Structure 1
Amino acid sequence: MSVEQPLWRALMAYRVLTMGYAIVVFAAAYERYERPWIGIAYYVVLAGWTLATLPQVSGARRCTKRFLTADLTIAVVGILLSPVAGHERAVTGGSTLPSIWTAGAVLAWAIKGGWRWAASASLLIGVANVVQRGSFSRSTLHNVLLVCIASIAIGYVVEVARASERTLARALEIEAATRERERLARDIHDSVLQVLAMVQRRGTALGGEAAELGRMAGEQEIALRTLVAAGLTPRPGPPRTRRSARSSGPSTTPRRGRRLGRAARPAPLLAGHAGSDVTFSAPGTPVPLPPAAARELAAAVGAALDNVRRHAGDGAHAWILVEDEPDAVIVTVRDDGPGIPDGRLVQAEGEGRLGVAQSIRGRLRDIGGTAELISVPGQGTEVEMNVPKRTK
């Protein structure tokens, strides 16, 4: 819904109420008019016009400039007919035939066209008031300024609201496009880039024509990483499902400052990573973690284990530990490899290697969680993933 739509609804109600008010004021002073039939004829036109044109003031699309011109004309004609109807107070400071209904005509210009349109319409109403009274009195000035200031203020507010709405729509469009690019980048990193890297390693090891194939795969990997890394922000897209399998027994991995909690829904998804070089540990009862968050968490764990296999060496061992906190599920991936040298993560991200930035931290950020990486050269690496139980 447009931010200005409530103003159009309020204007519809204002026009109907002020039409009724003008008729009541005329009826109360009916005997004072020398030519009341002029007022009656005008109110018949005013009532019919107000009720028939309610759809025109229901939104900006239907409120055309032609309608606004006709609407303002009826207000001006009513003002000029007031002394003709023979009520002397219309000239000496009393209410005109359209009374405060004229403000509704000016407000329609303000909502449709902004403060400049409002200023033009209110100026025309002011001139009509001066003409029908024949002089420029203090009360006339007061009424004209009141309508002018109110309509210009509303017109300005409408212009600001429209600009804000356009800015918000553009920001949402950019965010949607960015999230889609990052989703594709993450999927490419988890599939195509890893295959190219594997082809390069195996081709180099086999030699001959396979080595040439490996070299070409390495060049394509570098080019694709550069393309993927260009313009990305650390906000991933929708979750991607990983495989599920059975859990293994408890782990003996030490963990200071944490208590073992209850089993989380990610446990079946994470258990598939268990093997001779990966020990998986999780409590035995489920935790209320949303399935989408569990799948995203499992994908981040898989990315962390890929890094262990790729960088920690063939003899490295890894541990996966699932813990339950009152407001969050914590999964820790720890290895006994050589650790990560200082500055290596920043360098890798600059080279387009998004394993930590996108596949781990990015995934967790998308569901409202965090990923903390602790590594000491020669003492292994630990990745702690914290996911709130009430995710985004």
Structure 2
Amino acid sequence: MSARVGALLHVGELVVGAPLAALSAIEPVDRTLLAVAIAGFAAWVAVHAPIVWRRGLIAPMVIGDIVVTVALCLINSYISPAERVDEGSGWVATIASMAIIGVAMAWPARAAIPAGLVIIAAFQAGFLIGGLAGKGVNHTAIMCVQLVSAVVVMRVLRRVDAAETAAVAAERRSRQAAELQAAHRADEISQLRALHDTALTTLTLVGTGVAAARSRALSERASADLMVIEHLAAAYREHSEERWVRLDGPLERLAADPPFGLTVEHDLVPCHVPKRVAESLVSSAAEALRNVARHAGVSAAHLALRTDGGRVRLDVTDHGRGFDPAAAPEHRFGIRQSIVGRMASVGGVAEVHSAPGAGTRWCLHWPAERVAP
């Protein structure tokens, strides 16, 4: 949502700000240079807005916005009547302020603060280049406050979002564990009832002497009891075979035929998990690999499967451009549902470790009562 708001603001700056800039272009504004600047900004908005609307504040769009804004700031004295506005406000100042807020929305503080300072420095440098030393100081100070405020607010929002996501995932896991335990208990009671009504009753009849040990009726009853017990055993075997499957096999096939032609190296230990869990782990890994192909800027990734302390752990790693997980747009369904939500639906958890320029590692955990080798 925040990314789409940023896209709409850019459109507004063009639709409202550009005409005002043209109307206020009094001497000594260079009208030709102003026309070029407006046309260039319009071209950038035409590229920026639809991409950000669909894919969020991805790194190329944020970097491009910084470059365009810095260029406008450096020629500000030539495309706006800066010498007549003491505080240095105007069309370019508005664009610079929105760009500062944009980097705070897209990146964590360690990246947003340097990027914002570059824009602020370029804004002030524009006055010096135009021979207007001393102008724009007030608005430069306002931009510094905007940068600090935006970084602080986004840091708080990201922490709140992370805490809320963790709480929802924990509650879902707890509910699923309770439902699973209740189902196991109901199945156990059903089997105990069947045993009570068959074998135990027959043994009681024999033990108390109610039925003769070699009577025809007892033989027929014992035969019927045996059929019931064999049926229970067969159902248990079928249930076990359905629930527990090899996990490393499907992952090997995924690595051999990955999405979008990636090269996927793998290091997989043999293990068994419930069928539904295996499907979720493989599907989550496939979505992570699709994200590598789409966003990481690399052509290789790595799968690692381990069993550790009663847990199955699957890592999907790449050494690409990385991203800030806390700043992932809400509409990025692939992260929030296709990976995190899918793992939570089977009682697992998905953790992502990434930062801009530092690659990405997805850690998919499934807490199991046992890990069959």
Structure 1-normalised TM-score?
Answer: 0.46
Q: Which has the larger radius of gyration?
A: 1
Structure 2-normalised TM-score?
Answer: 0.48
Quick one: higher RCO (CA 8 Å, sep 6+), 1 or 2?
A: 2
Structure having the higher helix fraction is 2
